[in-house]
Amino acid sequence: MASSPRSTFLLHISLTLLLHSQTLPKTAFSQNLFFHFPPFSSKNLVLLGSSSLRDGSLCLTNGSLSSSSFGAAIFLNPVAIIPLVSFSTSFSFLVRNPNQDLSSSSRNAITFFLLPNSSIPALFQSPDAVKNASILFLEFPISRYLKAASVNHITARISIQYKQGGMAVRVSAGEPRIMIKEESHIFISKHFVEHIYAGFFSSKQNSSESHVIKSWSLSSSIFHRNNRQSTWRIKLQSTKALKYSPSNTLLILIRASILAISAAVIIVACFNVKEQFSPDARKRKRERKLFLNDFRKFKYSEIVTGTRNFNEIIGFGGTSKVYKMNFPLSSSTFYAVKRFNTDKKSRKSYHNELETISRVRHENILELKGWCDMDTGENLLVFDYMPQGSLHYVLHSRKNQLLPWTQRCAIAIKLATALKHLHEECSPYIVHGDIKGSNILLDDEYEPKLGDFGISLNGAPYKAVGASKQYSAPECKPNSVLDVKADVYSYGVLVLEICRGSMPKDTAEGFVSEVSEMESEDRLLEAADERLGGCFNPEEMMKLLKVGLACTVVDRERRPTMAWVLKVLNGEVELEEMQEREAEMVESVVEGERRGEVVSGLSGSTDSKGKAKVVQ
């Protein structure tokens, strides 16, 4: 597409820094250098190839059509380049291609170079010599932009400044408008060389393109200081626009966006600081410290020793890994150490779990034994070791040892008591948020322990994040607000899994639908785990399957509370009574909503203190 001379394009600068290690002088010496051209003179320049001086300018290549040509010019006096040197150089060039014969000009370029010695004729005669040279190239592949901008000439003024280890390249004028984009390949040696030589190199192929250096100035100065360590840093940046162009408007918008984002970050940080030092935050810290006094604060060295440098992994999740720990080493006591990752999400999971689990005491909830957090970001929790592993492992992965029905039934009941405790006996109530087989751990006697409170929340509905979709309620969508009824649904799916001996494949809905279809066709017992070979109580199997279905209805208002579930499983009420009561309560809720009233009961609403209320 044609473009006016004002059009803007990117100038790609390829940088290659290849420095051989050389002995650095022990002390810097004072040597300042300054020169300014035009006019260029052969007295202080070495001209190579097709380069020549013409009308006070340095012509690196002529405008005649040739298959290939190159030209180079080197300033005779060296520039001292030790770690605390400061030098600056600027030059302007003109590239002209009157015939616009650009079909084969991809290799045409002007190069400004720095190198440590003056013996360079061979450098431009053999490509292999470049690989063995200590040289810095700043290459300007101008020809491609002649073609892109549809013009036959380019002018530019380039400024390079090196000061105390940093180098900046700027375009201070140009037509068409030039912006710099960095493309750097920099190889840095251990030491700088003592001197460098500066110059230009230009090449062209199959074109009448001419490359002319119109002006060049360089100044350097040395600071008197010993320093044996330094690093080259190449920094490329564009200058302010000389004239209005669409890309300048884009730059303004980008800068304004950066300022706006920075301001927003500062505001959020201020609010976070205010929240951190608010009375409520200080109260939470005091309460947390009080609760943590009941637990051992392990030394990191103790955990490293006990886990044998985190040698044996016994479990893992999205935010952590679990290791087996023998502590003390001379004993036969084992623990499970949950080591959290160091990213932001994992740190949040650690704090959630620590805050929740340190407040809970229940025989069927995994007991915290200790904790350890380090300034380095290491966060660890220590629990009792569960030798039988997880319920998921026992149901699906353990070979040659089937979990009998009596133990399955007991696990379902005891898990219900743990959830009832979280939902209705803790103040504020606790939503676990990720009920599944791998989060149910079994001790020596197959007593279940509910663990992994990483996404739990105390006393408020929570946003659905991180929960396993195979156990998630239908209303559990990204950023959807959930409550205890989401836990009830997940419990129902897990109960069906315990009965069937198989787990949901993709989502819970299809898994539940299969059992629901069997019930509607009066063949519910066919859902029982075939591996049991009929070794189960049919009434208990029917009851548990129906409880699972009752907990997994789509309408969350129709799901029972864990208190009702526990009454049914313990034989205190019949399932039919619970279902009748459920229907009555839903009708009462609907009627109350019509009249603008609030009705508590089976739906598990909460009182003013955040504690779930249940109609007994």
Q: Is 310 exposed, middle or buried (0-12, 13-18, 19+ CB in 10 A)?
A: middle
Tell me which of 556 and 496 has the higher pLDDT.
496
Residue 612 has pLDDT above 50, yes or no: no
Give the H/E segment covering residue 468: none
Q: Is residue 236 within 8 Å of residue 161, measured between CB atoms?
A: no
pLDDT in the model for residue 307: 94
Of 185-199, 200-214, 241-255, 258-272, which has the strongest mean pLDDT? 200-214
Catalytic site residue 434? yes
Residue 289 annotated as part of some ligand binding site: no
Q: Pull the structure tokens for residue 416.
A: 């219900």
pLDDT in the model for residue 369: 92
Nearest partner of 423 among 390, 461, 368, judged by Cα? 461
Tell me which of 314 and 282 has the higher pLDDT.
314
pLDDT in the model for residue 598: 40
Residues 6+ apart with CB under 8 A from 425: none
3-state secondary structure of 189: coil
Q: Which of 434, 483, 487, 529 is catalytic?
A: 434
Q: How confident is the model at residue 118 (pLDDT cuts 50, 70, 90)?
A: very low
| DSSP collapsed to 3 states, 591-603 | HHHHCCCCCCCCC
Tell me which of 297 and 237 has the higher pLDDT.
297
Q: What is the mean pLDDT of residues 511-517?
A: 93
Residues 6+ apart with CB under 8 A from 141: 12, 14, 106, 108, 109
Tens digit of pLDDT for each residue in 10-27? 343 333 333 333 332 333
Sorted by where each starts, the structural domains of the chain and their CATH numbers stand as 8-242 (2.60.120.200), 296-384 (3.30.200.20), 393-594 (1.10.510.10)
Following DSSP, what letter does each residue of 213-259 receive, concatenated?
EEEEEEEEEE----------EEEE-----SS--HHHHHHHHHHHHHH
Nearest partner of 567 among 591, 584, 543, 590, judged by Cα? 543
This prediction has a pTM of 0.52
Tell me which of 165 and 494 has the higher pLDDT.
494
d(CA 93, CA 174): 10
Amino acid at 483: D
Q: Is residue 395 within 8 Å of residue 411, measured between CB atoms?
A: no
Q: Is residue 541 within 8 Å of residue 499, measured between CB atoms?
A: yes
Following DSSP, what letter does each residue of 62-100 receive, concatenated?
-SS-EEEEEEEEEESS-EE--TTEEEEEEEEEEEE-TT-
Q: What is the mean pLDDT of residues 96-100?
A: 68
Of 114-123, 293-302, 470-479, which has the strongest mean pLDDT? 293-302
- Percent of the chain, pLDDT > 90? 28
Beta bridge partners of 365: 450
Q: How confident is the model at residue 119 (pLDDT cuts 50, 70, 90)?
A: very low
Q: What phi, psi does 17 have (nearest 5°)?
A: -115, 115
3-state secondary structure of 111: strand
Q: How confident is the model at residue 392 (pLDDT cuts 50, 70, 90)?
A: very high
Least-confidence region, from 130-134, 231-235, 526-530: 231-235
pLDDT in the model for residue 67: 56
Q: How confident is the model at residue 280 (pLDDT cuts 50, 70, 90)?
A: low
Following DSSP, what letter does each residue of 340-366 receive, concatenated?
E-SSHHHHHHHHHHHHHHTT---TTBP
Tens digit of pLDDT for each residue in 180-220? 443 333 333 333 456 677 888 887 777 777 888 888 877 76
- The mean pLDDT value of the chain amounts to 72
